[in-house]
Amino acid sequence: MTALDTRTTLTPATVRPALGLRVANAVVAAINHAAKVYRAWRNRREIYRLGEMSDAQLSDIGLTRSDLFVVWQSPFGVDPTEQLGQISEARIRAYEALARRIG
């Protein structure tokens, strides 16, 4: 038998680390996704607690009951606290712009 009769497949050395890196990245991505879903679930529970506050208390933190209703209607994977932050920031910017026009 000569060397030409047998065929061996050689894989480059770079394939194994690349595969390991892809597996590691997939595991990290899965963990990050699970953490994001857990955080959204936990924050949604906190939104329910905000619903127990009076309108005056909500006003003190820059929110209205309708803001809570808007974020309750959002899909589960969306973090409601981020939405409330955006709503509150937009309201603050609108008030500041109005104050500049008046003043």
For 13-34, how does the pLDDT look when each residue is reduced to its tens digit (9 = 90+)? 555 668 888 888 889 999 998 8
With a cut of 50, list the residues of the chain below it in pLDDT: none
Angle ∠(34,49,56) on CA atoms, nearest 5 = 140
The pLDDT score that the predictor gives to residue 21 is 85
Are the CB atoms for 83 and 71 separated by under 8 Å? yes
The pLDDT score that the predictor gives to residue 78 is 78
Please tell me the pTM assigned to this model. 0.57
The pLDDT score that the predictor gives to residue 56 is 93
Cα–Cα distance between 89 and 87 in angstroms, integer?
A: 6
Tokens of 14: 């770079």
The pLDDT score that the predictor gives to residue 16 is 62
